[in-house]
Each structure stands twice: as structure tokens, then as C-alpha cells.
Structure 1
Amino acid sequence: MALAIRDVREHDLDAVLALNNAAGTGILVTDSARLRHLYDNAHYFRVAEMDGVIAGFLIALRPDANYTSPNFHWFQDHYESFVYIDRIVVAPEYRGHGLGRVFYCDVQSYAEVRVPLLTCEVFLEPRDDMVVLFHGTLGFQEVGQQKMGAKGPKVSLLAKELPSFPFVRERYLDGDGLPDVSWLAERHRPCEGAAQEVRA
């Protein structure tokens, strides 16, 4: 099977929404308006395409994103610079083949030339030990816990230090910036800064 990790396209959104809402208790259900808001505002929004079929996706944001998730706000309150993984979904038929690790390697390659931390959360209610173990093996450590609202589930807030960042900051970011090459380019966000706020 041919695998491609690529930036999301507008015509992918229906398939992404269906995957999101079929993912189970570990992923919050969303709607087309909220997904469109993420499409317009996310700094990283990539899909895995397997032989023409959307097999999964990962969405991540930086601190200046127009986004009102309580977990995203927690990281905004505690850290100046980071990439926050909002959600990752892999279709059931493609699980168990390492696609999650491929996504995390890809988002880390985006993050480590821009920020010192990669962040995310995992649900503790209900707790999924496989998800907790997965993040631990990738080097994430718990930096806090909170409940998502008065009646929401408890989450573990995770962060991973990116050891390449000091090298990049010293040699590039403190000077003229990253080289102007396609693999370092930012994702084009269709309505950058113009979309209405949508609550997660």
C-alpha cells in the first residue's frame, strides 16, 4: 500500500469529520463548523492517505491560534512557545501498523525547528493505558492535570522537550530565520486570523 502524509485539502474535510466522530471516547465529537474553524486556524493539519483513502489525520496549533479549547488555554497560560496536538485519529482498519508514530514523527519534525515543546493531553476518564503508554514511549511527561469544565473528563497534560530546538534557535531563529525551502514552509491557512472563535 502507498502511504502519503500531506497537508489537508478542503475537499478532505467530510472524510476527516467522519473519521473524527467515529473514533470513540478518546476523541471529542465535533461538527463541520468546528472542523472548518480548525481548518482555517491550525498551523499543522495533515492527513494520511493510503491508496487514495484518508486513513487518519493530526491537527496541531501554536500559541497564537484563534482557538478556545480549555486544554490549549492551559498550555497558553503555562508556556510561551509550543506546538499543541489537538487531536489525532487513525481509522480502525489502519490501526496497529505504526501510523500514529509516523504522524508524531512528522509533527515533531514541524515543531522542533520552531518551538521548544510539543504538547498534548490524554483522557484519564476513561483512562486508556495504551494511549498513556504510547505517549510515554515517545518521551512525553505529565506537566499537569485538569478537568475539562465542571462536568468534563479529567485529562493529563503532557509535554515533550525538543532537544533540536536550541541548535535551530541559535543558528537560525535568532538571525535571519529558517531557510526558504518548501519542507520548512508554514501551512497556508485559508482564513488566517479571520475566522470566528469556536469552542472545542
Structure 2
Amino acid sequence: MPELAIRPGVEADLDRLLVLNNAAVPAVNELDRGDLQRFLKIAPHFQVAVIRDRLVGLMIALAPGLDYGSLNYRWFEERYDGFLYIDRVVVDPDVRSAGIGAALYRNLELVVRERGISRLACEVNLRPSNDRSLRFHERLGFRGVGTQDTENGAKTVQLMVWELNR
């Protein structure tokens, strides 16, 4: 595989990232350009994966205390003091299973350890099922801490945390 680079996202990336994100529904929620622009402004971790100048992945992680309406984000805010919430990870289907997601997570782990953050939080769909993502997160060290129905019962998610100091 050609060399992979992980770098901060910039405004010029948003159109391509919007296509990648919305092609990944229902694993992630659909966004519009304004949503991505807001994430770019508020997310302490907005990283993209690039191969040969082509954007092939995205990871957005949010700190506590933001005005963000996600039920899953709020679930963690109500229960944990410190964490970084992984709102979305998207990988271009053309390079799926090439280690892009793992590279994005390794990059995030390095960043949060440098910042002294000891807990990562995320959710994975149980309904509709995303077994591949669930296994991936469990291999990294995430463990289930709850479940929640969202989208008026259309989805059920497994809420997960990774305690990095353990």
C-alpha cells in the first residue's frame, strides 16, 4: 500500500469528506457541509487519512462540554468526567481493510496520551448491526458500558469506553 499520512483536516477537504461520510450511512449519520464545517471548528481532533493526495479517511473526536445534540455524546457527558468522544470514523470503501481505521486510532491514541486524556468513548451500532466495527473496537481495548436506542428506536448502539491507563 502507498504511504499513508494522517493530518488535520482543513476547509478544502470538506467536499470530499462529505461524500465519504454520506456513503457510509447507516454506520454513521448523514451530514451536510455545514455540519462538517462546525465539526472542523469545535472538534479538538479532526484528522484525515491521505494516500497520494487522495482523502481516504476521517476521524472526528469531541471533548466534553460542547453544545452538541448527539444522544450518545450526552450519554457519556452524564456519566464520565473526562473523555474524548469519537463521533465518527469513515474509511473509503476502496481501501477498507488496508489499515486506515487502525492508523487513525493509533494517531488518536498518541494524541490523547500526550494531552493526558485517559478515556476514549464511542458507540457502535448493534441494530442495524455493525459486527465488524464492534470486533475492531474490542480488539483495541474498548469495552461495553451500556446500550441505547436512538433515532426513535430505529437504531440501538453499544456505548463503549477504552480506559487508556489500564
TM-score normalised by L of structure 1: 0.79
Structure 2 CA distance for aligned equivalents of residues 64 and 25 of structure 1:
26
CA deviation map 1:120-163 (0-9, x unaligned): 00011111221111111110000111111433411000000011
- In the superposition, relative to structure 1, how do residues 111 and 151 fare at CA in structure 2: closer, same or farther (>3 Å)? same
Find the residue that maps to 2:65 and give its secondary structure. Answer: coil
Percent same amino acid among aligned pairs? 38
Following the alignment from structure 1 to structure 2, what is the Cα–Cα distance between the partners of residues 38 and 140?
Answer: 24
Pair 1:15 & 2:16 matched: yes
The residue number in structure 1 matching 2:149 is: 147
**What is the letter of the counterpart of residue 27 of structure 2?**
G
Question: Where does residue 134 of structure 2 map in the other structure?
Answer: 132
Contact 1:41-1:66 at 8 Å conserved across structures? no
**Distance verdict in 2 for CA 1:67–1:78, change over 3 Å:** same
Flag as ranges the 4+ runs of structure 1 deviating above 4 A: none
Q: Which residue of 2 aligns with 1:26?
A: 27
CA distance in 2 between counterparts of 1:50 and 1:115 reads 29
Q: Which amino acid aligns with 1:11?
A: A
Q: Which residue number in structure 2 is paired with residue 70 of structure 1? A: 71
The total of aligned residue pairs comes to: 164
Residue by residue, what CA displacement relative to the aligned partner does 1:45-93 show, whole Å, maximum 9, x if unpaired?
0001110000111000110223211100000000011000000000011
**Which residue identity is paired with 2:35?**
R
Higher mean C-alpha deviation, range 83-92 or range 111-120? 111-120
Matches within 5 A, 1:1-200: 1-112=2-113, 113-163=115-165
Distance 1:152 1:70 in 2: 14
Contact 1:123 1:155 in 2 (8 A): yes
Q: Deviations over 1:153-177 (max 9, x none)?
A: 110000000118xxxxxxxxxxxxx
- Unpaired segments ≥5 residues, structure 2: none
CA distance in 2 between counterparts of 1:121 and 1:81 reads 16
Letter in 2 for 1:94: V
What letter corresponds to residue 58 of structure 1 in structure 2?
M
Answer with 95-104 or 145-154: which moved more.
145-154
Query: Secondary structure in 2 aligned to 1:124?
Result: strand
Counterpart of 2:32 in structure 1: which amino acid?
A: D
